[in-house]
Structure 1
Amino acid sequence: MTPYVLYWLIAANLIAFILMLVDKRRAETGAWRIPEATLLRWAMLGGAIGTFTASRLIRHKTRKQPFAGTMHFLVGAEIILLALWGLGLLNPLIRQAHIHLDPLAATALAYFPSAS
């Protein structure tokens, strides 16, 4: 796993964890809440484990459906993807995607040379 992906996952999980803490606090005080779509978006961007962990630690949104069901799915998917990546099983798929995307990148650079 490249360091940048690892840094992103750490940041996404930390942000997702903090967002859950803030939403719980706001729920307790009756303040404006963080939309579920925002919480789920951060979970989908790699912060599923952070969202799920915060949910369990502070007992927030553990029974709310479809949020809880979606979180179970996202955590499972994230764990599977991390395991496959850690075992090196995603590398051939990533390499194959690069082969298909390289001609597109070359075409884009021909039209937008300042992007390189």
Structure 2
Amino acid sequence: MFALVLGLYARHDRLLPWLAGAYAVLAVLTLGLYAWDKRAAMQARSRIPEQTLHLLALAGGWPGAMLARPLFRHKTRKQPFTGIFWCTVLLNLAMVAALLW
């Protein structure tokens, strides 16, 4: 649904082209970092701090995180993480809405 809204805004020239590109880059980066962190967790290696994952989601990488969480079965059952994640999504959407307003 988010991609549809972005597409509609972009089609009507109301969305700055760099914003759609930034979301795409951040989503792919975030998805990759979730995969990296899941692999590190399985191999008992050094992990990516949760704060880093939340900051990426807040910056616009949340679509990638939303795909990565069930795809890799990573950070899906940890309640404090999940609550903070959804707060970052809502805050990011509010910031984008304010930017487009």
Q: TM-score range by the shorter chain?
A: 0.7 to 0.9
Corresponding position of 1:53: 67
Corresponding position of 2:78: 64
Corresponding position of 2:16: 2
Q: CA deviation at 1:27?
A: 0.3
Structure showing greater relative contact order (alpha-carbon pairs closer than 8 Å, 6 or more residues apart): 2
Mapped to 1, the partners of 2:55 and 2:94 lie a distance apart of: 19
CA RMSD of aligned residues (A): 2.0
CA contact (8 A) 1:20 1:54 kept: yes
Mapped to 2, the partners of 1:63 and 1:56 lie a distance apart of: 10
Question: What per-residue deviation string (whole Å, max 9, x for no partner) do you get for residues 28-81 of structure 1?
Answer: 011110110111111111011211210111110111131111112233444566
Mapped to 1, the partners of 2:63 and 2:47 lie a distance apart of: 21
Question: Could you tell me the TM-score, scaled by structure 2's length?
Answer: 0.74
Question: What per-residue deviation string (whole Å, max 9, x for no partner) do you get for residues 80-115 of structure 1?
Answer: 666x47xxx933xxxxxxxxxxxxxxxxxxxxxxxx
Question: Could you tell me the TM-score, scaled by structure 1's length?
Answer: 0.65
**Identity level (%):** 36
Structure 1 gap segments, 5+ residues each? 92-116
Structure 2 gap segments, 5+ residues each? 1-14
CA distance change for structure 1 residues 57 and 79 in 2, over 3 Å: closer, same or farther? farther
Task: Decide which structure has the larger Cα Rg and report it.
Answer: 1
Aligned length: 87
